[in-house]
Structures are given as structure tokens and as C-alpha cells.
Structure 1
Amino acid sequence: MIIHNLFTFHELSLFGFISLAIIGAIVIDLLIGDPRWIPHPVIQIGKLVSTLEKRWNKGAGRKIKGFLLTSTVLTIVFLITLGGVYLAYKTHFIIGIVVEIYIISTTIAIKGLSSAAMDVFSPLTQGNMKEARKKLSMIVGRDTDQLQESDIVRGTVETVAENTVDGITAPLLWAVIGGAPFAMVYRAINTMDSMVGYKNEKFEKFGYASAKLDDIVNWIPARLTACTMLLTSIFIKGSHKKQAIYVTMRDAKKHPSPNSGWPEAMVAGLIGIQLGGVNFYGGQKSERATMGDPKEVRTVSNIKQAILYMHGGWIGFVFLVLLFVFFIEK
């Protein structure tokens, strides 16, 4: 909360300031998403990570070099964001809040995640399997060229559930804690994990620090998001609420990630389908533990259900977090 105090200049209460920044960022994301004509900060972070990875991910001491990568990228991202936001606020409070709102909006992807899922849903409902596989390949790392409808649905639902945390609730939580600088640092951590956080020969040592830090910053958001998905499911017809609790407590820990299993298991339980199982990456078979019980056969309608739980999850999350801020300020 200390960072917020650098920028408020006593114009708003802490609750008012945080609420304005968070809700404003959400509104911007819902209205315009990530327009391609505006340079996106995450792309620049990715270029920085790629440049440093090529220079440092070789020879001896790769684990230490990986820690150096993480600290270097986070320091640069934090200082640039902090400096930019601070100068904006020093110019004028309104300019500052507009800049902060915009920066936070670039760290979330409510519209983008929903649109990506619907891009798979639309051709799938028309029986255009080729196009549905192509659209799915743009949001997952697995091979999609041989997938049938059931597994296309599975991949889409898993992506929506997992990225509700990575792409929405986690950056919003860090924005509440430390404004745009913390939100952008979170996005940098997540970007590094997606680029170097693999358990293979090339990245296992070099990406260790990035992967572990990503696990840490997502730990609370993942569990809280699963809870808010459950709480808001009372407004979604046909939700298997009791089953979802049982499935989440049983299966969340089976996921390779200490965090991704929570929203995935919750969504699987709420819908009544089974996620996880066999995937292929570059032709190589990979078996992942299953999430949920196959009470229902997976169908294309499950994609829209997952999107509903995504929206319920982030709306409930924001409500609870802002309510917490309201009470601690009193």
C-alpha cells in the first residue's frame, strides 16, 4: 500500500484511489482490450527477456544467470513503470490516474481471453474442425492438428480456467497492493515464466528462478479465484457446487503447477466434466492427471460455461479485494 501513497497527494482516500484505478482498468480492457496499433508493454518485456536469454543461457552457471535474468528484468520494469507513473502524477493528478489506469489495463486480458475462447467456439459450432484447431493452437502449446471436438473443448476450457488467474485476478491483486508498478512487475514475472520456465534441458536451470517466483506470486490469487468462482456460481444455472468443492480439494494438487490446478479443478467440478489427460507436444506424448469426474460429456457449450465462470471469478475477486481494502482503511 505504500506505493499508492506516493501518488495520491491526498486527493482521494486509499479505497477511492484503488477502486478508481482497478475499475477504470477493467472498463478500458473490456472496451478496447489490447488494440494492435498501441505498443504493448508485455511485448517489450518479451523482447528484453529474449535478448538476455540468448546472451546468458549458455555455458556454466546457468542457474545463477537465471537469477540474474529475473532480477535484471524486474528491476528495469519496476523502475521504468514507477518513474513514468510518478512523473505523470507530478504533472497533474488526473494525468497520473489516467496513466496508471491504462498501464494496469495492459496487464489484464478479460476481453482477450473471452474473445480467444469464442474464436474456438464459433467454428466448432459450425463443424469447422480445421479452423477450430487452428484457433486453439494460438492459445495452447499442445499439438492440435488431430484433436476432435471433445479435446478441443477440453483445451479451451483449461485455458480459460487457468488464465483467469494469470490474465486477470493475479495482476489485479498486485495492482491493489502496489499500483501499476507491481502489476507490471507481476506481468514481467509471468512473461519470463512463459518464456524460460520450462522443465527441459535448455531451461530447467536457467528458468528456475522465474518459474519459482511465478509460483509464489500466483499462490494466493489461484486459491482465492477458485473460491470466488464457487461463490458466484450460485448465479449460474446448472452449477455442480458441492461436486466442485469435492473435486477441487481432491484434484487441484494433482496438477503439475501448484496453482493452475485450483481454477481448473473448480471449473471442471462446476461444469461436471473431466479435464486433463493425454496431450501431445511436438509429437511427444504427455500424460497429465485428470481434473474432475466425467458426469457430463464434453460439448462445445462447455466453452461458454467456462467463460461465465471466468467472469464470475474475477467479478467476485474484485468485490472481495476492494471490500477488504475498504475495511482496513476504516
Structure 2
Amino acid sequence: MPWTALAHPPDTLPILVLALAIEAAAGYPDALYRAVGHPVTWIGRLIDALDRRLNRGSATRRKMAGIASLLILTVVVGGVALALSALAGLAGPFIGPILIGVACASLPAQRSLDEHVARVAAGLRRDGVSGGRTEVAMIVGRDPESLDEAGICRAAIESLSENFSDGIVAPAVWIGIGGLVGGALYKAINTADSMIGHRTPRHEAFGWASARVDDLVNLPASRLSAGLIIAAAACHRGASASGAWRAVRRDAGHHRSPNAGWPEAAMAGALGLRLAGPRVYGTVRVEDAWMGDGRVEAGAADVERALALYRTACGLLLALAVLAAAALLSGR
């Protein structure tokens, strides 16, 4: 397999397969995190430094500073990823891609997302609503004290659905397109959106560019995520692939996010639930459309059903990567 620092399909697809397999099996080891941190934490420090240094002045100045910050971020992160890819290439056409696959395994978050959402169901079963609130606070931004059991479960399932798209499928898409460079650039943009892409007095102007670019780079993954959830529903007794398809067609476009509605609607329709809708973040009430037309009441069993669909969808994503790699490599 010929190898360059700027790898592209089909060379990047075996790397993607390796990265997804490693991350699903091992996640990101705690010992490694304690020793050196994580790429997201490194990226986050740079974003925080740019925010503190450049986010000041009028709204127009803040918007321009936000654009400049995003450019700086992508140049730095892309440059580091390109340098690492080039160094790995020195190890040869066999070892080099393996090293890059190991590095790319830090970008998706299949295992950690599974663990965090599973803790919500476990907390509810162990300690009731108080336990569920403690665990769901780790994965959502809304006020956990405002949530009853059904609200906790819907929040966990919504987080699972949305993060399946932007935390797993989207990194996979961009690794498949551009290897470590593509995956790292996506992660930088997505982390910037999560940190500064909010409609708050401080960040509405400064985070405007990050939020808009994040919407753009997540478009293909959100649609693919919905398709994978629909396919996963077809593999599970008690889940409805047709219900998921109907919910996506009817509801996804009405979500306040151009991307989150796709996996959320698919999950809602598959499980016979209603997700999203009006909710509270901090002290701010957000009015949003409902995804799905099923039950509003949800319990720990529904979180576990959602996790089962999620795991199957992750398996289907890996299978899709394997098939794409095999098809493209056989045609060389």
C-alpha cells in the first residue's frame, strides 16, 4: 500500500478499520490519559487560550477574531497531524499505516460513550432518580435537578444518538477521507463548537464561525448515522426500522440543529419514543420540535434498548468500513 503523509482513499480506509476496531476493544486507556492527556484536551487548551486572548471588543471584532481563531486552530492541529503522519511514513508502507491507525483510534469515542450512557441506566436502577441525575449530568448540559426519571432517560438517549453521529460516525467519515489529518481537523472543529459555539453573550459572535463550520462538516455523518440506526433497528426484535425511517422523514428537518435531528429521530422512531422537544439548559428554556411520535415516558430499560441499537450500529459502521476498503483496494 503506497503511503504518503496526505493519505486518501483507499489507503485511509484500512486505517479507519484498524482505528475503529482498536477503539471499540480498548477505548482510550486511563493510564495513557493520566500520563499525557487526550487529543481533545490538548485541542481544548489551545481553544481556551485563543478565547481568553482574542475574544474581546465589539460583536464585529469578536466575529472576526473567532474566524481567525478557527483558522489558527486548524492550521496548528492539521500541521501536527501532517507531521505525525509523515513521521509514521518513515516506518515503511506496512508499519506506517498501523501507527497512524493507532493514533486515529483516539478520535472516535465508541467505548467511552457506551460506558457513560450505561452508567445512567445503572444509576437509576441502583439509586433511583438521584443516581440517574448524578450520572446524566456527566453527559448533558441541561439542569439535572429539573429532570424526572423519564427526562433523565430521554436526555441519555438523546445524548447517545447525537454523539453517535458527531463523536463516532463523523470522525470515521473524515478519517476515511483524509486519514489522521482529516480526523484531527474534524475533531478540532467539533471541539471548538462544543466549547465556544454557543449563543451566549460571550460566544455568540466569537463562536459563530466554529458553529457554522461544525454544522457543515457534520452533514454527511448525521445522515449516515440515521441510516445506521435504521439498519440496526432491523436487526433487533422490538425495534422498528420502519418507525425509525418515518420519524427521520417527518421530524429530522424540524430539529433546531441541522444535524442532531437525524440520529435522534431515527432512535426515537426505532424505540417508539418521543425525544428532544422543549428542555432547559441552565436557566434557559429551549423550545424544540419533538422527534418521534411515541411515548414520552421512558425508563432505564429504554436506555438499555438504545444502547443495544447503538452497539449494533457501531458494528455496522465497522462492517461498512471493511467493505469499502475491500472494494476500493480490489479495484486498484
Mark yes or no: TM-score above 0.5: yes
| Residue of structure 2 equivalent to 1:148 | 148
- In 2, the alpha carbon distance for the partners of 1:162 and 1:215 equals 13
Which residue of structure 1 aligns with residue 24 of structure 2?
A: 30
Query: What residue number does 2:84 align with?
Result: 84
Aligned to 1:220: 220
1:271-294 deviation per Cα after TM superposition (whole angstroms, max 9, x unaligned): 001111232222332222111112
Deviation at 1:99, TM superposition (A): 2.5
Partner of 1:282 in structure 2?
282
Letter in 1 for 2:54: W
Cα offset for 1:202?
1.4
Which residue of structure 2 aligns with residue 199 of structure 1?
A: 199
For 1:309 and 1:208, the matched residues in 2 are separated by 34
Alignment check: 8 A CA contact 1:66 1:206 kept? yes
Contact 2:251–2:265 under 8 Å retained in 1: yes
1:265 aligned to 2:259? no
For 1:320 and 1:28, locate their aligned partners in 2 and report how far apart those are by CA, in whole Å. 16
Structure 2 counterpart of 1:247? 247
Alpha carbons of structure 1 residues 217 and 8: separation in structure 2 relative to 1, 3 Å: closer
Deviation at 1:8, TM superposition (A): 9.9
Q: How many residues are paired up?
A: 323
Residues 225 and 314, structure 1, Cα contact 8 Å, conserved in 2: no
Measure, in 1, the Cα distance between the counterparts of 2:56 and 2:30: 34
Match of 2:123 in 1: 123
Note the C-alpha offset of 1:316. 2.4
Counterpart-to-counterpart distance in 2, 1:48 and 1:95: 31
- Contact 1:252/1:291, CA 8 A, preserved across alignment: yes
- In the other structure, the counterpart of 1:53 is 51
Q: Give, as a single letter, the amino acid of the residue that structure 2 aligns with 1:133.
A: R
Residue 41 of structure 1 and its aligned partner are, at CA, apart by 1.1
Alpha-carbon distance between aligned partners in 2 of 1:209 and 1:80, rounded to the nearest angstrom: 22
For 1:178, the aligned partner's letter is G
Compute the TM-score of the two structures, normalised by the length of structure 1.
0.91
CA deviation after TM superposition for structure 1 residue 165, in Å: 0.8
- Sequence identity of aligned pairs in percent? 31
Deviation string, structure 1 residues 283-330 (Cα, Å, up to 9, x no partner):
332222111112474121111121122223233234335434544552
Letter in 2 for 1:134: T
Following the alignment from structure 1 to structure 2, what is the Cα–Cα distance between the partners of residues 14 and 290? 38
SS at match of 1:184: helix
Residues 21-70 of structure 1 deviation map (CA, whole Å, 9 limit, x = unaligned): 12221222123212233221110000000000111110131111111011
Structure 2 CA distance for aligned equivalents of residues 212 and 319 of structure 1: 31
Moved more, 85-94 or 214-223: 85-94
Contact 1:90 1:96 in 2 (8 A): yes
Displacement of 1:241 in angstroms is 2.0
Q: What CA distance in whole angstroms lies between the structure 2 residues aligned with 1:64 and 1:146?
A: 37
| Equivalent residue letter for 1:154 | R
Cα distance in 1 for partners of 2:152, 2:315 equals 27
Query: d(CA) in 2 for partners of 1:174 and 1:322?
Result: 15
Runs of 4+ in 1 over 4 A off after TM superposition: none
Partners of 1:56 and 1:216 in 2: CA distance:
24
2-structure distance, mates of 1:89, 1:26: 20
Moved more, 304-313 or 254-263: 304-313
The two structures, once aligned, show a CA RMSD in angstroms of 2.1
The answer (yes or no) to whether the contact 1:162–1:260 under 8 Å persists in 2 is yes
Matches of 1:162 and 1:211, distance apart in 2 = 15
Residue 237 of structure 1 is matched in structure 2 by 237
Pick closer, same or farther for the CA change 1:65–1:202 going to 2, 3 Å: same
Q: Does the CA-based 8 Å contact 2:6-2:82 persist in structure 1?
A: no
Determine the C-alpha separation between the residues in 1 that align with 2:261 and 2:129: 28
Question: Partners of 1:234 and 1:112 in 2: how far apart?
Answer: 25
8 Å Cα contact 1:173-1:321 kept in structure 2: no
8 A contact 1:143–1:281 mirrored in 2: yes
What is the identity, as a one-letter code, of the residue corresponding to 2:247?
V
CA separation in 2, counterparts of 1:64 and 1:264?
33
Q: Which residue of structure 2 aligns with residue 158 of structure 1? A: 158
- CA drift of 1:104 comes to 1.0
Whole-Å separation in 2 of the counterparts to 1:255 and 1:44: 31
